[in-house]
Structure 1
Amino acid sequence: MEYKEKKEPSLHSTWGIHDVGPPSANEHAKHISRKLNRRQVQMYSIGGVSICFTFRACLTIWKVIGTAVFITLGKQNTEAGPLFLLLGYSFWSCIIYLVNECVAVPTSRLPVENAFVDFAVRYVSPGVGMSIGYNYFLGMVCSSSWVSNSTNFHKIGLLCFEITNFGNVIDFWTSEPLHPAILTSVCIVTYALIHCWDSRWFGESEFWIVLVKILLLILCLFYTLCTMCGANPLHDAYGFRYWRDPGPVVGTTRSEQLRAFLSALLGASFAVAGPDMLSIISGEARDPRRVMPIAFRTVFVRLFVFFVLSTLAVGIVISSEDQILLDAINNDSAGAAQSPYVASMIRLKVSVLPHLVYLAIATSIYSAGSAFFFNSARTLHGLAMKGMGPPVFKRVNRNGVPYVTVVVTIAFACLSYLQVGNGSAKVLDWFIGRLRGISTAAQLITWCVMCVTCIRWQKAMEVQGLWYTEELPYTSKFLPWGAWLALFCATIVTLINGYTVFLDGGWDIADFIFAYFSPICFVVLALVYSIIKREGLVSPENADLHSGMREIEEHENTLLQSDIVHTNVMKRTFNWIL
């Protein structure tokens, strides 16, 4: 049954959300502050809701806009064909939208710090919450994408490699390649400045970077429309030619076509993401109960525009058998040479625009690294606040930034200096080439837990008599059946994530371990923690649905009385556009 929608959702407290009453001065100093405004949250929901898409998808979002749109979709098109590419991304975008609904309803009601982990602790079990928190952190640190390497195109993992490959793209504009340590140092220092002092700096930097990415992505879509109609130097109105020749799908037999579709589906499961990003950033939004419902509601449009239209565009501008693109892939060409747009521009003899594609990739990589910093640091801090991490991780500075966990994240980034040495780089190339399996599986496990958490939350609301009586800032027509459907699909994709090792001649023990490490690690951590702490599943009757609510209501009243929520006509227009 559907809730009645609340007309005036309110804002969140600058205190924490873990205690019912006002926190002591000591506890107050441990909580992050809420300084991200609506403009920043809305733009971040586009560009960081999938670092996932922004970085994982395009170079390989939600960042919903990522490097996959500019690069990796080309390789996936050669493996699956334009039809399967479109179907795979469309199907998975629908699943992610259902996951978004699972996260949106409870998060908009109680936008807490590290929300989806906090809710797993409250509504499922402390063991599951702890395990998914560290599983998610592992996925963030090991999150990998197809990015440009100084000598070839590698699947890279770890936050530090996002930094390293930023320099590799910048080399496109330099007469001679810069020493890798130079731009690595620049990235680490700028990340430290952005993330160690005030979250508003992160929000503002993301706003402008994502704005650039949006404009460049729109340019790519406009390029597709114009060139397919003949507006190109060759006056070649190719239209949907590549859907007819070589055809909409790759493969001639049923088994080959099945593998082609699974390739597109698994690529989408790695690239398309986002609900986790909004769930985490809700802990630092200044007016989350007003802003977060709006951000969650627009996810469907963003998934359609930035994922579905992008996959359609790639299938139009480039053939799945394009020799320029295949040569770039087979030769592990550097930079954006593997981008379907660059290959198309070379074929059509279009100049200048490749520079814009490189700019899009550079901004996506830098933005993705920044988002990895943010999410990793906030996840560790949230776990510590639940007593599931070292107490030192609770510390924040006077601006409410968890500087200790930021420093820990920076320590991982410093591993990028290992790539300076040839010997260590070879070892890391082998290792990180398999980290995509860990990252994808960790992300899929996160979706599963989000769905289970939503189901348990709804049951607790019903048992405690709130399901039919409480007005919520966000409602959904897709619950609870949508949660069950998304849970089923995410579980199936998790199981087939490493299916290639079971094919004839495909067995590789390292690939098998990396593909299924995250699910096994998640289950083991949850069981061990539950046994040691002697804490099982949380019953619906005892689920905590109220902690932090009073602080939210008091804070929203303070903001409303001071007219902070008032905006002029220009701001209201801008907010409506977003």
Structure 2
Amino acid sequence: MEKKSQILVSSTVDTERGSFFDEVSSSQPGKGPSLEERIGRRKLMPRQVSMIGIGGAIGTALFVSIGTKIIQGGPASLLIAFCLWSVVFIGLAQSMCVMVTYLPVTGSFVHFTERFVDRSCGFAIGWTYFVCQAANVCFEITAVCLVVEYWTDKIPKAALISILIVVYAALNLFSVFFFGEGEFYLSIGKVVLAIGLIIFTIVVMSGGNPEHRVLGFKNWSNPGAFAEYLTTGSSGKFNGFMSCLIFALYVFWGVDYLGNAASEAMNPREVIPRSFRKVFGRLIIFYIGGAICVGILIPYNDSVMIKAIQNGAVGAGASPYVSAMTSLGIKVLPHIVNVLILTSIISAGNSSLYSASRVLYRLALEGQAPKLFRKVTKRGVPIYCCAVVLLLCGLAYLSVSNNTNNVLTWFLNVETAAMAITYIFICISYLQFRRGCIAQGIDMKSLPYYSRWLPYLTWHSLFWLTLMLWVSGYTVFLKDNWDFQSFVFSYFMIPFFIVFFVAHKLYNKTKFVTPQNMDLVSGLQELAEEDEYWEANPPKLNWFDKAFGFLL
């Protein structure tokens, strides 16, 4: 690792030092942190980073909302959509891993966009991503209210929201280690639920159910593999497939969480690639496996599932797995599923709060957010960044006086478009980074992480992400289907990004980065020092950490 770091430093052109390690302490303005300070900020242990990667690959929608899509598109549409997006996100993950292991910094992809593409693009992406993640915290807090209503509606929504905000504050304000530890245990609930439901499906489809019915793949032939949605005939089946494809754009989140964790992970150049390499397996097991399971358990015309959706069922009540359990007369498992769904939601909100605070911190370091947000505690927590996100969580109280499902839809549409824009610029940043390396004589195989499938997968991912950004709200343009609110929330983030980009460029008169002048040096010397430190002082693992070594 030491040799590779030296190669990276010596093989680049001599450029003026940029802002990469300008993460200054309040006591020493203008001076970069020492090796001890930088190492001290890396509190996330290998098992925590690994579980953050797993947690990012599993969302609540995989257990609940997926039922609506099987009704709209059918099992084949859902499976094809998930397979397609798996390839898209494998390309996205590999592209990001190359850059993150080269420069494991705070607000990773925001920094990459600024450094490899354009400062104005980085500014706009940073605020777009901040809005996205802050909205997702509100979304998850609001979703908790629905999950609890599965058991009782007697608990005031305001009380539940307040409790969640306090829990998130406890996990994020005191130490990065507390966040990592909380995410570790919450993500275990996700993994247990995902694997448990796959095992449940295998048992049930083989006849291991109270009615001893062998399900097999009967639902693919009766009523069929493709469902009609909005219209009839071929156009209806196309709309059903598009519904599943757009849904997958939201479900397949999580790559960005690993990127953000890189800046606070112990020995990032060893730990982060391990987690990124596991993305492929996680996508197959949890997503493609989940799509297959749902298609086995319920047909797209399942009366129990349709009734649950029409009646506005909440929590596990809207899950296709619970619908199958109800149809088969299984009574205890739905409550267990609802408990684990609750942990999944809390985990998702916790990850989004962490990501939103770190990207705001990155913006502050770059002078694109108030200097107040540069303040970090002795334990490395950007205290005011976390505090402002917690304050924004108050938007979740909108669900107290409005229909909860409507509020969820508002948040969901905004953040889905925002994430598409963010992922598009991750791809663009990698393509620019690659051009810079080639122009400056750096062999891509000499980088800490190399993939033979790049940049081909990057271009593939960029195409689909760009396409889906523009067609995600296409249903409002269908005959007799216009809805102004849906149109605004589906496409609001596009003009939001453009306005922020144009305003910053006109005010600062920034120029796009050229491959020849791209800064590929700043910070590498510091990283070489860290590599030497971690080689001589690998993270100390106790028996508990080693017990979870299989996750790495």
> Match for residue 121 of structure 1?
114
Residue 166 of structure 1: which of 122, 136, 144 is its match?
144
* Distance verdict in 2 for CA 1:361–1:577, change over 3 Å: closer
Per-residue CA deviations over 1:6-46 (Å, capped at 9, x if unaligned) read 99889xxxxx9723899883356898921001100001100
> Match for residue 538 of structure 2?
564
In structure 2, what residue type is equivalent to 1:536? K
Residue 187 of structure 1: which of 137, 142, 164 is its match?
164
- Does residue 1:533 correspond to 2:508, yes or no? yes
> Match for residue 429 of structure 2?
453
Supply the distance in 1 between the matched residues of 2:274 and 2:298 (Cα, whole angstroms).
36
- Does residue 1:476 correspond to 2:469, yes or no? no
Alpha carbons 1:22, 1:551 under 8 Å: kept = no
Residue 200 of structure 1: which of 177, 184, 192 is its match?
177
Supply the distance in 1 between the matched residues of 2:200 and 2:155 (Cα, whole angstroms).
32
Q: Cα offset for 1:113?
A: 1.0
Q: Cα offset for 1:167?
A: 3.9
Count of paired positions: 532
In structure 1, what residue type is equivalent to 2:48? Q
Q: Cα offset for 1:399?
A: 0.6
* Distance verdict in 2 for CA 1:481–1:519, change over 3 Å: same
Alpha carbons 2:62, 2:251 under 8 Å: kept = no
Supply the distance in 1 between the matched residues of 2:200 and 2:415 (Cα, whole angstroms).
32
Return the structure number with greater helix share.
2
Supply the distance in 2 between the matched residues of 1:485 and 1:269 (Cα, whole angstroms).
15
> Match for residue 279 of structure 1?
259
Q: Cα offset for 1:340?
A: 0.4
* Distance verdict in 2 for CA 1:437–1:182, change over 3 Å: closer
In structure 2, what residue type is equivalent to 1:25? Q
Supply the distance in 1 between the matched residues of 2:436 and 2:158 (Cα, whole angstroms).
52
* Distance verdict in 2 for CA 1:430–1:205, change over 3 Å: closer
In structure 1, what residue type is equivalent to 2:20? H
Residue 19 of structure 1: which of 18, 21, 39 is its match?
21
In structure 1, what residue type is equivalent to 2:28? A
Could you tell me the percent identity over the aligned residues?
A: 34
Supply the distance in 1 between the matched residues of 2:121 and 2:204 (Cα, whole angstroms).
51
Residue 126 of structure 2: which of 129, 133, 140 is its match?
133
Supply the distance in 1 between the matched residues of 2:139 and 2:494 (Cα, whole angstroms).
24
Alpha carbons 1:65, 1:306 under 8 Å: kept = yes
In structure 2, what residue type is equivalent to 1:512? F
Supply the distance in 1 between the matched residues of 2:470 and 2:114 (Cα, whole angstroms).
25
> Match for residue 147 of structure 1?
none
Residue 91 of structure 1: which of 60, 84, 97 is its match?
84
Q: Cα offset for 1:101?
A: 1.2
In structure 1, what residue type is equivalent to 2:428? V
Gaps (5+ residues) in structure 1?
A: 11-15, 48-62, 144-158
Residue 106 of structure 1: which of 93, 99, 112 is its match?
99
In structure 2, what residue type is equivalent to 1:245? N
In structure 2, what residue type is equivalent to 1:305? I
* Distance verdict in 2 for CA 1:498–1:573, change over 3 Å: same
Per-residue CA deviations over 1:290-328 (Å, capped at 9, x if unaligned) read 111111111111111110000100000111111011001
> Match for residue 35 of structure 1?
43
Alpha carbons 2:421, 2:469 under 8 Å: kept = yes
CA RMSD of aligned residues (A): 2.5
Once the two structures are superposed, the pairs formed by residues 260-339 of structure 1 within 5 Å of their partners are: 260-339=240-319
Supply the distance in 2 between the matched residues of 1:9 and 1:550 (Cα, whole angstroms).
8
Q: Cα offset for 1:416?
A: 2.7
Once the two structures are superposed, the pairs formed by residues 349-360 of structure 1 within 5 Å of their partners are: 349-360=329-340
Supply the distance in 2 between the matched residues of 1:520 and 1:202 (Cα, whole angstroms).
34
Alpha carbons 2:60, 2:344 under 8 Å: kept = yes
Per-residue CA deviations over 1:476-508 (Å, capped at 9, x if unaligned) read 112122222211111111111111111101222
Residue 197 of structure 2: which of 199, 202, 220 is its match?
220
Stretch of structure 1 that moved more, 381-390 or 475-484: 475-484
Alpha carbons 1:9, 1:289 under 8 Å: kept = no
Supply the distance in 2 between the matched residues of 1:259 and 1:397 (Cα, whole angstroms).
51
* Distance verdict in 2 for CA 1:418–1:465, change over 3 Å: same
Residue 377 of structure 2: which of 397, 412, 420 is its match?
397
Per-residue CA deviations over 1:519-540 (Å, capped at 9, x if unaligned) read 2221222122112111120111
Alpha carbons 2:47, 2:551 under 8 Å: kept = no
- Does residue 1:519 correspond to 2:494, yes or no? yes
SS in 2 for 1:25: coil
Supply the distance in 2 between the matched residues of 1:35 and 1:566 (Cα, whole angstroms).
12
Stretch of structure 1 that moved more, 216-225 or 16-25: 16-25
Residue 485 of structure 2: which of 503, 510, 521 is its match?
510
SS in 2 for 1:550: helix
Supply the distance in 2 between the matched residues of 1:501 and 1:22 (Cα, whole angstroms).
48
Alpha carbons 2:115, 2:519 under 8 Å: kept = yes
Q: Cα offset for 1:560?
A: 2.8
Supply the distance in 2 between the matched residues of 1:400 and 1:226 (Cα, whole angstroms).
47
In structure 2, what residue type is equivalent to 1:396? V
* Distance verdict in 2 for CA 1:127–1:8, change over 3 Å: closer
Alpha carbons 2:58, 2:286 under 8 Å: kept = yes
> Match for residue 226 of structure 2?
249
In structure 1, what residue type is equivalent to 2:363? L
Alpha carbons 1:20, 1:547 under 8 Å: kept = no
Supply the distance in 2 between the matched residues of 1:559 and 1:486 (Cα, whole angstroms).
34
Supply the distance in 1 between the matched residues of 2:5 and 2:329 (Cα, whole angstroms).
53
- Does residue 1:378 correspond to 2:355, yes or no? no
